[in-house]
A and B are shown apart, each in its own frame.
Chain A
């Protein structure tokens, strides 16, 4: 039922992915946003405040905040406090480098707040090859601060060819902090386009990863891997692409897209400086197209009800078409193997 109801269009997103800045103190080779320097025309504090108020009025439930590195914005804690005060739940993705003891203490006191800290390897050798020299040690220091202050957090790992052999070790690191491990899918957008050939997991690794997930119910995947997961696991999360149906993405300069992985001109719904967020959500032609998207080639697939064609963004970045099957779904992987 949820899939059909969502296809008809909700009155507001369930959650919004908000890239609050493109500024970043790292240059990760797989960054989906190609973060580094600030984007031209990033939203001001006043604009961000209005946006938060708009989302709260629309009863958006959750705002997933990334970037760039969110904590690099001088006004970020004020914006978080404002979101929480208006009833929004926030989930912040951070590289952890700016989290010292004082910030960890502040974050530990937030009730409507989740934190994901990125770690892309269980050793400095693997993590630092992706995220930059010295980052492994600095992230572990941040995790120590968070754990000592009693903050709830998860460790987020983008699955790559390099860190696949370390999944068990990463799970143990998370356990040692009483944190969850969240594994995200490598998406070939941003700098990921250029690093896909070297970093994207192999067919064998993806298939083995699907089996590994079955054995580890506590490992979370968000909705990243619904194209790979079983019926049992599917019931624990979103079983379809939620872009423009349940979620959308706001860029640092106020552009609205169906999802963070489709920040291309062809998918631009509009900008909140010239349209209200609500009008873009309700009336954008590209959002209407995404809601009606049917991957017809998959309709006869025995797993259709489990993945509905998979991730349109991966299809787009592979074939330049969103209506084609996800090349990394379980069936296509087995065919390729």
Chain B
């Protein structure tokens, strides 16, 4: 199985955005609006991922959620991150 995080993108929070971990995954807040975004990522991603130091692939490889059964979940997380990027909540770097 290939890492579903693809292409080595790092993400960081856009100015005015914040994120915190919740039982369901990640809760994003952006000062613009203000707006709230729920990402049902479970324990796949932590807040520190958005410090921009690791790619999604790095995170995936070293994580405990890299088994075959997690592939679909990773794909959903990746799509959610791209959606947040398009909305300006996070930035690709």
Contact = CB atoms under 8 A, between A and B. Distances in A.
Interface of A: 1-2, 5, 8, 10-12, 14, 59, 61-62, 87, 89, 112, 238, 246
Contact of A1 (B22, B31, B34, B38): B38
A89 B20 contact: no
Contacts of A87: 18
A283 to B, nearest CB: 16
A221 to B, nearest CB: 13
B70 interface: no
B38 A5 contact: yes
A10 B27 contact: yes
Nearest to B29: A61
B18 A8 contact: no
Contact of B40 (A1, A89, A112): A1
Given A10-B27, A14-B27, A62 B20 contact: no
Given A2-B38, A11-B22, 13 more contacts: A1-B38, A5-B22, A11-B23, A12-B20, A14-B27, A59-B20, A61-B18, A61-B29, A62-B34, A87-B18, A89-B31, A89-B34, A246-B36
24 contacts: A1-B38, A1-B40, A2-B38, A5-B22, A5-B24, A5-B38, A5-B40, A10-B22, A10-B27, A11-B21, A11-B22, A11-B23, A12-B20, A14-B27, A14-B29, A14-B36, A59-B18, A59-B20, A61-B18, A61-B29, A61-B34, A62-B29, A87-B18, A112-B31
Interface residues of B, number: 13
A24 B22 CA distance: 38
A89 B22 CA distance: 20
A64 B21 CA distance: 22
B23 A8 contact: yes
B16 to A, nearest CB: 8
Interface of B: 18, 20-24, 27, 29, 31, 34, 36, 38, 40
Contacts of B23: 8, 11
Main SS of the interface on chain A?
A: loop
Nearest to B18: A61
Given A2-B38, A14-B36, A8 B20 contact: no
A238 B34 CA distance: 11
Contacts of A62: 29, 34
Contacts of A2: 36, 38
A2 B29 CA distance: 13
A8 B24 contact: yes
Nearest to A236: B33
A89 B27 CA distance: 16
Contacts of B27: 10, 14
A59 to B, nearest CB: 4
A14 B20 CA distance: 10
Nearest to B20: A59
A46 B22 CA distance: 30
Contacts of A238: 36
Contacts of B34: 61-62, 89
Most buried by B among A11, A112, A246: A11
A238 B22 CA distance: 19
B56 to A, nearest CB: 22
A62 B30 CA distance: 10
Contacts of A246: 36
A131 B59 CA distance: 56
- Which A-B residue pairs are the 3 nearest by beta carbons? A59-B20, A61-B29, A5-B24
A8 B23 CA distance: 9
Nearest to B15: A111
Nearest to B25: A5
